[in-house]
């Protein structure tokens, strides 16, 4: 099978297989179908790779189905050792994965290496430790004895987004620890790092068919996975609109189990008793990290009116300027957004804000260069019902408004169809507890934003989805509970 060589950090040569990863081999797609990969930093062609078709999904399903009959009987210690071995390889070759994220996704190399890759390793090791602890309970019943067993679901699928490789491992680690076989569809915009992970899976010693990786279009490969009658579970991370289609396909087919981690419009709430410098730091990070292309981004910022003007001045001073350019270079603080379509979407929301007469605090323009660079952008005094306050933009775009009372800001924060992530900044412990309890979100961080740990569950409420990644709760999504009852005879 063909390969492509690209240059990463410090001109590191990285060779990536261009085929689909099925049965531990890289193979061409049906009819030789391919897709082109673009480097968003230069807006130039980066690679051409195979794109999975419906027939390729069928091949992967049969591979996973055949392997499951033996894999489900593997000792938990085997699964633990393989996950730990994969963690070691990912850690060893993290510079390659981070380079590929930078090249095809525009993400800063150092952010990918120190956060995304580090999170991948942490999750692999965390769930490796769970492999021999997926247990049940023993129950007394009137006729005798009952017990439960948590068993693997079987052939499962995961459809992961383009914005971070760590989500790939959020799905893989618990699915494999629980004893399932897994088919993962990587995004069409960023298919290279997934193929490199395929090489690592093979090196780690996973049996053929345990993990298959299919890059391809969501409308083709993603649809085929969602509606396949021999896939028993699909996990999806992406937009709310696509999540609806995944659920519809699951319902039309075999009523497969579904978990969804969808869009967000996260509120960051700054009270006047907060540590001002700390709040500035985290609200800036919350909307600029990965260029705001994160579902958990703190894109709605509510600031108490007594410190509002001061906050606007300092927030703008600290977030408006960035050094844009090659994400592999250490001096770069802003990479490109992932595609021209994403750039155009962000700029269209800028125009919506301007045309409504909203106050542009800073940014709002494409930055110089051939790539898809957009300035950090913020609008102030944004009304609650405006589209830039209500719709997920997925870019470095903050919508800021003031509030007076605690109840007012709770109502504003909860006035959204989405409920994924939120942040509260206050030095009043009682207030922090009250507001955290009242916010309709899957995660609330206090005096920080977006901290991620393998042992803490992550997921949404309302139209941000259901099911959890990470934490022991993630295993619930990859297991089924069987009850066995004994009628004890005299």
The residues annotated as belonging to the active site are 261, 295
Range 219-233 burial, b when 16+ CB lie within 10 A, else e: ebbbbbbbbbeebbb
Compute the radius of gyration of the chain from its Cα atoms. 23
Q: Angle formed by the axes of helices 192-204 and 76-92, to 10°?
A: 130
Q: What are φ and ψ of residue 145, in 5° steps?
A: -145, 145
C-alpha to C-alpha distance for 130 and 448, rounded to whole angstroms: 29
Order of strands across the sheet with 377-380?
359-362, 377-380, 397-403, 300-304, 267-270, 421-425, 443-446
Instruction: Match 């410190």 to its residue by tokens.
Output: 307
Cα–Cα distance, 446 to 379 (Å, whole number): 24
Which residue's entry shows tokens 């009987």?
73
178: Cα within 13 Å, side-chain hemisphere? 27
Rounded to the nearest 10 degrees, how much is the dihedral formed by the CA atoms of 294, 296, 297, 303? 180
Q: State the virtual CA torsion across 400, 401, 402, 403 in degrees, nearest 10.
A: -120
Helix (H) or strand (E) holding 414: helix 406-414
- b/e code 172-202 from CB counts within 10 Å (16+ = b): bbbbbbbbbbbbbbbbbbbbbbbbbbbbbbb
> What does the angle CA 105 – CA 194 – CA 298 come to, to the nearest 5 degrees?
45
């Amino acid at each position: 099978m063909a390969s492509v060589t690209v240059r990463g950090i410090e001109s590191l040569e990285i060779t990536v297989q261009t085929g689909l990863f099925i049965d531990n081999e890289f193979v061409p797609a049906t009819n030789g179908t391919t897709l082109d990969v673009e480097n968003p930093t230069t807006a130039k062609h980066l690679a051409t790779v195979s794109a999975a078709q419906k027939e390729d999904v069928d091949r992967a399903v049969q591979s996973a189905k055949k392997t499951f009959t033996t894999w489900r009987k593997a000792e938990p210690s085997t699964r633990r050792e393989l996950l730990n071995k994969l963690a070691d390889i990912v850690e060893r070759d993290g510079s390659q994965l981070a380079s590929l994220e930078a090249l095809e996704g525009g993400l800063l190399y150092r952010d990918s290496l120190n956060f995304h890759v580090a999170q991948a390793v942490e999750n692999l090791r965390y769930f490796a430790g769970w492999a021999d602890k997926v247990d049940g309970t023993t129950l007394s019943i009137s006729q005798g004895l009952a017990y439960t067993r948590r068993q693997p679901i079987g052939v499962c699928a995961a459809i992961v987004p383009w914005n971070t490789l760590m989500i790939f491992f959020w799905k893989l680690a618990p699915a494999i620890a629980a004893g399932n076989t897994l088919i993962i569809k990587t995004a069409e915009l960023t298919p290279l790092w997934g193929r490199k992970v395929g090489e690592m899976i093979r090196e780690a010693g996973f049996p053929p068919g345990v993990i298959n990786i299919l890059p391809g279009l969501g409308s083709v490969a993603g649809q085929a996975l969602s509606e396949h009658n021999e896939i028993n579970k699909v996990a999806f991370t992406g937009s709310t609109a696509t999540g609806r289609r995944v659920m519809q396909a699951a319902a039309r087919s075999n009523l497969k189990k579904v978990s969804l981690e969808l869009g967000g419009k996260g509120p960051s709430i700054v009270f006047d008793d907060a540590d001002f410098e700390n709040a500035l730091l985290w609200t800036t990070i919350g909307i600029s990290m990965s260029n705001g292309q994160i579902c958990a981004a703190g894109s709605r910022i509510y600031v108490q009116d007594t410190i509002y003007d001061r906050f606007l001045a300092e927030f703008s001073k600290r977030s408006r300027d960035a050094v844009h350019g090659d994400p592999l270079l250490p001096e770069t603080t802003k990479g490109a957004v992932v595609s021209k379509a994403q750039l155009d979407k962000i700029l269209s929301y800028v125009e919506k804000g301007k045309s409504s007469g909203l106050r542009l605090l800073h940014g709002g323009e494409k930055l110089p260069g051939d790539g898809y660079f957009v300035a950090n952008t913020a609008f102030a005094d944004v009304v609650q019902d405006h589209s830039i306050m209500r719709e997920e933009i997925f870019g470095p775009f903050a919508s800021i408004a003031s509030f007076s009372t605690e109840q007012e800001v709770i109502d504003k924060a909860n006035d959204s169809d989405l409920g994924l992530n939120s942040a509260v900044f206050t030095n009043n412990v009682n207030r922090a507890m009250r507001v955290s309890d009242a916010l309709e979100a899957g995660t609330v961080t206090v005096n920080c934003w977006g901290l991620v740990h393998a042992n803490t569950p992550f997921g949404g409420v309302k139209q941000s989805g259901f099911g959890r990644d990470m934490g022991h709760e993630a295993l619930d999504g990859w297991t089924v509970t069987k009850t066995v009852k004994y009628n004890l005879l005299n």
